[in-house]
A and B are shown apart, each in its own frame.
Chain A
Amino acid sequence: MKRILKLLTITVLLFSAFAFSTLAANKPPEKGEVLPVINLPVPKNIDERNYLGLSGSGLFKIPQIKAKTVIIEIFSMYCPYCQKDAPGVNELYRLIENNPDIKNKIKLIGIGAGNSPYEVEVFKKTYQVPFPLFPDKDFTIHKACGEVRTPYFIVVKINEDGTHQIVYSQLGNYPGPEPFLELVLESSGL
């Protein structure tokens, strides 16, 4: 009986350790790695759904976005640098959307670390953000991404077979729309 109890305790401990390690990372996502498990709600807004090439409702994972490359900005409405960079990131979206060669290949999303849906909306409205933003009220995604400081940019290449790879990541220091787009194109091989 005692042995069974000990075995059970060890199993629970090992399982907890494993489960927790999949939820929280101790370092930011970096080049060459795959993304942590991130589940996002399919946008209710039809334009945003179309932009991401998604349909229906429920949750989706970032590699399901219909694109060759996805740029993720982890931001917060409470972050001064994210506020300062917001117009420049909007401009990056417009640069991509106005270029027929890359328009359907590169998509941009934002994840509001610790931000409620209301707070994300305040940010979206204040800066007229034209691309989809997702709340992460309980810091779940933020924890999975190693509790990065904001803004944190991740560029993900999505392969034909549905696999993906992080090809670039950067903390802050947003260099402006043109240089950043260059970095994206170069790193993702577009």
Chain B
Amino acid sequence: MQKERLANIILLPVVLSVFILPPMAFSLSDAFKGNTYQVGTLKPIDSVLKVKVGDPAPNFMLPSISGEKVSLSQFRGKKNVVLSFVPAAWTPVCSDQWPGYNIAKDIFNQYDAILLGITVDNIPTLFAWTNQMGQLWFPVLSDFWPHGGVAKRYGLLRSDGVSERALLVIDKKGFIRYIDVHDINKRPPLEDLMSALEKLK
């Protein structure tokens, strides 16, 4: 009898969750067709930040898909910098993030900001993936080797080796002014980032 009650207690929330909880929604462009790998719903955040707003941003130099190496310090005194870490190429939400930034160049310019897109994927993978997005105006950097080194220094490397979905704003003096370590399953709304850039004015 007690066993039956226990089973009911366990079963009820499980059954209810199937009906009540909505599935994770992805708006996926047909541009990627069947070439994205469905990762399912992941732990929203799986790392501990090692930097905070007000800290000097740790410098780095990474290879980009255009062949050049790009460092954070090269923008010091010249541009505000937005770092967009996305977890992995060829995954649903990530494929649906940078193409939006690609049509927002004017807004980034308005805030005198450059965008640096970073993943832990290698250059050939990033090249093939971003080709599906059209011609991107911003550098795409590979944090592949040493694996996730930059993500790790910022405290953004997850336990499975991909980075968080994170946005950081770094001012012209090299200080971190905004950090959004976002739920990996969701795309950050553009207006939140732009509000952070507005505050630099």
Instruction: Report A's interface with B, CB cutoff 8 A.
Output: 9, 12-13, 16-17, 20, 23-24, 76-84, 113-116, 118-119, 122-123, 126, 137, 139, 142-143, 147, 149-151, 171-172
Residues of B within 8 A of A114 (CB): 25-27, 96, 187
CA distance A114 to B22 in the complex (A): 15
Q: How many pairs of residues, A versus B, come closer than 8 Å at their CB atoms?
A: 100
Residues of A within 8 Å of B25, CB to CB, are 114, 139, 142-143, 147
Chain B: how many interface residues by the 8 Å CB criterion? 31
Extra A-B contacts (17), CB below 8 Å, given A79-B96, A147-B27: A16-B19, A16-B20, A23-B22, A24-B22, A78-B29, A80-B134, A82-B29, A113-B27, A114-B187, A122-B104, A139-B25, A147-B25, A147-B26, A149-B29, A150-B27, A151-B30, A171-B30
Q: In the complex, A137 Cα to B194 Cα: how many Å?
A: 17
Interface residues of chain B, those whose CB is within 8 Å of chain A, are 12, 15-16, 19-20, 22-23, 25-31, 96-97, 99-100, 102-104, 106-107, 132-134, 187, 189-191, 194
* A76, closest chain B residue (CB): B27
* Identity of the chain B residue whose Cβ is nearest the Cβ of A112 in the assembled complex: B27
CA distance A84 to B103 in the complex (A): 11
Please judge, given known A-B contacts A78-B100, A83-B103, A122-B103, whether A139 and B132 are in contact too, CB under 8 Å. Answer: no
Across the two chains, which residue of chain A brings its CB closest to B25?
A139
**Residues from chain B with Cβ under 8 Å of A143 in the complex:** 22-23, 25
Instruction: For the complex, give the distance between the alpha carbons of A96 and B16 in Å.
Output: 48
Q: Shortest CB–CB separation between residue B129 and chain A, in angstroms?
A: 12
Q: Assuming the A-B contacts A114-B187, A119-B189, A143-B25, are A79 and B20 also in contact, with contact meaning beta carbons closer than 8 angstroms in the complex? A: no
